[in-house]
Every structure is written in C-alpha cells, then in structure tokens.
Amino acid sequence: MEVAGIDIIVKKSDRKTVSIFVERDGTVSALVPNSLETDAIKEVLASKSYQIHKNLAEWKQLNERHVLREYVSGQSFLYLGRNYRLKLVDNTLGELVFKQNTFFMGREEISNGDLYFTNFYKQKLINRLKTLVPIYESRLGVKATDYKVMELQNRWASCTKKGTINFHWKGALAPVDVLHYIVAHELAHILHMNHTTAFWNEVDKVVPNYSESLNWLKYNGAGMTL
C-alpha cells in the first residue's frame, strides 16, 4: 500500500492499535487490527506520514555506519560487541577458528567465509542461550515452548503465539548486556504480545537499563553484518 509516497507493507493481526516499523533493510511495515478496512488504514497511515518520513531519514543516517567486510587478513569482525581481526592461513581448517582473540580461516576457503562465520555465530549463540533463556524464564515466570537460532532478516528475535522464540544468529555479534536484553524482551512477549506499557514494565523489572541496549542496537545494528 502506498501512502504519502511511501510503500508500506500492511499486515493484519488480532490487535487494537496500529504500529508502524522501519525495518533494518529500510522497508516500512504496519501492523493493523483485523477490523480496519482499507480506507481507514490509509487514513491512519496518512496521519502518521510525518513520523514515518522522519524515521526513514533517521534510518538512512544510521545506515551510513554499514560496514562492507572482506575476507582478507586484518579485516575486523564483530563478536560479542568487540572487533577481532581475521588471519588467513595456508592450512585447510574446514571451519572458522577463534583463538587468542583472532579469527583464523584457510586462505583457500574464503569462498565459504559467509557459511563459516554464520555457523560460528549460530553455535556460540546457542551455547549462551542455554544459560540465558532459563535465567530469564525464571525471572519473568514464563516458559518458552522452544527456542531456535536462525536467519530472521529484519528482526533480532521473535516470539510466536505458541511461545516459540526465534533468535537471529547476529545476536552473537552484540555485547553480552545487549544479548541479555534481547532474551528478556522476547520472553516478556509470552506475557504481552504487543509493546504495551505492561510489556515494557515486565522488561524493566528484569533489565532495568534496557534503554541502553535499545540504543546500542539502534546505532550499531547497521554494522552487524558480514
């Protein structure tokens, strides 16, 4: 749907309010109540056009931080909020190796670079989630049906209505404090599916400084790439 010169992806759901998001790839999406007809949706979105344009301008500014990385010795890659250098070696390693604060990859294996790094981040994140998820389940008094690590495109994580939590493997690039926030945020959705005041109150109870993590993701998210 085009509103005020902006293409907006509209999704209906069982909700009472309209929420608009600028996704990490710059697309704009809106979650609207099932009861709203097309004309009413356009009217609501048009009333918010100034804010949407403002958010898009901010997104463009933030994405100037995007980093184009290459698989060459000396290139830095994020892991748990810090940058570590890559060193290419003559040996065939069959995977990405991290030791002594350095990433190692076979010189003849750089065509597998994306796969090696993705697999590394996935495994490291899974290992941390095994500890973090039970901690925040206990603190929030909830229980996730299941949790997985995968490619989520424009979300750091998501929670289904059935209580399954999906985490983006890029969570392993974020600082540990930010990862704590991501886990708490998604588990709090088991109690409140929408971002209501009640939802944020639950997050605040277990991560009192969550605004710092929100800001970190906001300003560094564009650089969390391979």
Check whether residue 156 and residue 108 sit in a common domain.
Answer: yes
DSSP character at residue 170: G
Average of pLDDT values for 165-173? 96
Give CA–CA dist 153/187, Å, rounded.
Answer: 20
Q: Across the chain, what does the average pLDDT equal?
A: 89
Under 8 Å between Cβ of 79 and 172 = yes
Taking only the tens place, the pLDDT of each residue in 70-99 is 999 999 999 999 999 999 999 999 999 999
Last residue of a domain, one of 45, 65, 85: 65
Check whether residue 86 and residue 120 sit in a common domain.
Answer: yes
CATH of the domain at 82: 3.30.2010.10
Last residue of a domain, one of 20, 36, 65: 65
Nearest to 128 by CA among 144, 149, 114, 142: 149
Average of pLDDT values for 123-134? 97
How many domains is the chain partitioned into structurally?
2
Average of pLDDT values for 8-24? 81
pLDDT at 24 over 70: no
Element at 58 (helix H, strand E): helix 49-62
Domain boundaries, position 6: 2-65
Check whether residue 33 and residue 127 sit in a common domain.
Answer: no
Q: CA separation (Å) from 198 to 109, 143, 158, 195, 212?
A: 49, 18, 18, 8, 19
Higher pLDDT, 27 or 104: 104
What band does 64 get if pLDDT is binned at 50, 70 and 90? low
Check whether residue 46 and residue 136 sit in a common domain.
Answer: no
DSSP string, 106-122: EGGGGGGHHHHHHHHHH
Does 13 fall in a domain? Answer: yes
Check whether residue 109 and residue 192 sit in a common domain.
Answer: yes
- Most confident segment among 6-20, 164-178, 211-225: 164-178
Last residue of a domain, one of 17, 35, 65: 65
Paired with 6 in beta bridges are 3
Check whether residue 80 and residue 36 sit in a common domain.
Answer: no
Check whether residue 44 and residue 16 sit in a common domain.
Answer: yes
Check whether residue 51 and residue 85 sit in a common domain.
Answer: no
User: Above pLDDT 70, what percent of the chain?
Assistant: 95
Check whether residue 82 and residue 48 sit in a common domain.
Answer: no
Check whether residue 141 and residue 47 sit in a common domain.
Answer: no
Check whether residue 96 and residue 203 sit in a common domain.
Answer: yes
Give CA–CA dist 128/156, Å, rounded.
Answer: 15
Check whether residue 60 and residue 80 sit in a common domain.
Answer: no
Does 70 fall in a domain? Answer: no
Under 8 Å between Cβ of 66 and 222 = yes
Q: Which of 47-61, 95-109, 166-180, 192-206 has the lowest mean pLDDT?
A: 47-61
Buried b / exposed e across 37-62, counting CB within 10 Å, b at 16+? Answer: eeeebbebbeebeeebeeeeeebeeb
